[in-house]
Chain A
Amino acid sequence: MGHILVFIERRNNTFKKGSLEVLVRARQLADEKGREVHAVCVGSGCSAAAKDLGAWGAKTVHALDDGAFDRYTPQAFVKLLSRVMDETGADLTLLCSTAMGRDLAPRVAALKDLPLLTEALEIDWPEGKKIQIRKSMYGGKVFATWVTQAGPPFMATVRPGAYPFSAEPFAGAAAEVSPLSAAGEMEGAGAIGIDELKPEGGMVDLQEADIIVSGGRGLKAPENFKLTYELAEAIGGAVGASRAVVDAGWIEHRHQVGQTGVAVSPGLYIAVGISGAIQHLAGMRTSKCIVAVNKDPEAPIFKMADYGIVGDLFAVVPILTEEIRKVRSA
């Protein structure tokens, strides 16, 4: 009986939170089935850190300590992951559906001709054979349960935030590290990273942010976006935006939340001056707690919101920022 294998992403020498969330869920599934969890991670220095993955549920970590794998290169990673799946005999391979997971998983599934379920908000292994997931479709207008027909082996990607982060649930457990070596995966690797640009004002990874403060057309003018930035800074969150303001050129597209932006599931989503159009809701309706500030009590965003303030954002937001600063410094 094969184990569950989790692909662990690393960036800047730390394991990605989303990968650890998946690892914890993998351990729960494995415990139910009397199986083990293996992990695979790559990049320079990863084998030293790999034993720490025991604290998130990994029994064995297959670690490739090679600087050539510090950056994601699709074809090389596909070959490597598929080799580890074969050599270790995994029944279920899980990835977090980050930018990398979304890119890597379908390619591996095509190479190995395996069933792949994507973007799980929930994942289960109810019977002996089949994996099933629940996911959002049609911009959140439908939730669907998908099931594998063939397999094992199976593959699935799990949305960041689907299983909220818990710090070291298996504290004290160290994973056994099994060293991997490269086997020519980088040869003819195809698309290769040549540069990375970090935006001014730091990185925003909306998908991984616990708190997001998004601004919409209610802000009236680009310079007023600073209200959103100030609130985000006070509350320790990232800045999002509606499409209306992205299209108006007030903020770059990478901040856009929604059907044609990023889909996010933070613990707290604050929508400031956003009407709540269906395409915006598509990207944030799986947030755990939604707060809306809007002067129009009929704005559709209030139907989705857990908490709302009806009022002029120019009056509300500065006071909110101040109050948050107060409670945070207390």
Chain B
Amino acid sequence: MKIVVCIKQVPSSEARVQINADGTSIESGELELVVNPYDENAVEEALQIKEAKGGETIALTVGSDKAEAALRACLNQGIDKAMIVKDPSLQGGDFLGTAKILAAALKQINPDLILLGKLSIDEENSAVGPALAELLGLPHVTVASKLEWIDDTSLKVSREVEGITEILALSLPAVITANKGLNEPRYASLRGIMAAKKKPIEAIDPTGLGLDPNVVGAAGRKISILKMEPPPPRAEGKVLQGEPQETVPELVRLLREEAKVL
């Protein structure tokens, strides 16, 4: 079984995000960059499937040289091989551009299963997984919380949505996006880190991929950011201190009369 995990490098959720003077991008100089948290669940699932069924695991990303650190983190956790599309002419596209690059690379790699996170915590689109599935003509399931194998080429995927658990049947090859509840990502062990030193990060040569920078790169964007702002300030709240016998009825009064939410 060949499993590819598509990952993205993003600012850590703790990072202080600052908007650049141009008002359309964020200051990236000192940001702590990590593997997108949901992608870590996808990586963990790939490792568990390999442990159970054998095969090869590959981490794939589209990005600049910087993004190799994220691939390295995946190798440290136990992923076998890392691949990156980092041609500058292909950078700066929107999510559909990224999906097109990933699709072209994946057609070459020809995996049985493609895993991604359900959302990346920077742009928050939840869009690359389904778009990729469409471009590859494969079935997909998003926000997976559990995978169970039916046989070697088909599986049951559970997803928790709208308060119920949906169980879907899927046959390979397929695309699955991971939710956080899918598993508990492992930490890289010292042995894993040592072993990873020998593992390659392969730069994919874009010439064979048939990609047009005017379609997938910055020039091909179909959507772009007009401006970025700090979140709208919230009006100063009313904080009530004192005995609950007094603060609680006052809160209920405020919620009814002032906020009108009760």
A→B interface (CB under 8 Å)? 11, 74-75, 78, 97-100, 102-111, 113-119, 132, 135-151, 189-199, 202-208, 211, 235, 252-254, 256, 259-261, 267-268, 278-279, 282, 285, 288-291, 297, 302-312, 315-316, 319-320, 323-324, 327-328
Contacts and interface: CB of A to CB of B under 8 A. Distances in A.
B21 interface: no
A288 B255 CA distance: 12
A107 B223 contact: no
Given A117-B223, A260-B180, A107 B130 contact: yes
Contacts of A194: 156, 167-169
Given A75-B139, A102-B126, A147-B223, A307 B162 contact: no
Contacts of A303: 237
A259 B13 CA distance: 8
A30 B149 CA distance: 48
Contacts of A109: 96, 127, 131
Contacts of A149: 221-224
A118 B162 contact: no
A320 B239 contact: no
A189 B247 CA distance: 57
Given A116-B127, A196-B164, A267-B261, A305 B239 contact: yes
A311 B247 contact: yes
A198 B221 contact: no
Nearest to B176: A191
B62 interface: no
B237 A302 contact: yes
B143 to A, nearest CB: 7
Query: Which of A103, A109, A315, A319 has the largest count of B CB atoms less than 10 A from its CB?
Result: A103
A294 to B, nearest CB: 10
Contact of B131 (A107, A192, A278): A107
Contacts of B13: 139, 259, 278-279, 282
A316 B247 contact: yes
18 contacts: A106-B95, A108-B134, A117-B223, A119-B124, A141-B17, A142-B17, A144-B225, A145-B229, A146-B224, A149-B221, A151-B222, A211-B261, A254-B160, A297-B239, A308-B239, A323-B252, A324-B252, A327-B252
B121 A138 contact: yes
Given A190-B139, A291-B251, A253 B162 contact: no
Nearest to A208: B162
Nearest to B38: A260
Interface string B169-184: 1100010000111000
Contacts of A145: 225-229
A305 B132 CA distance: 39
Interface string B124-138: 111111111111001
B1 interface: no
Interface in B242-262: 242, 244-245, 247-249, 251-252, 254-256, 259, 261-262
B35 interface: no
A315 B167 contact: no
B166 interface: yes
B210 interface: no
Contacts of B221: 149
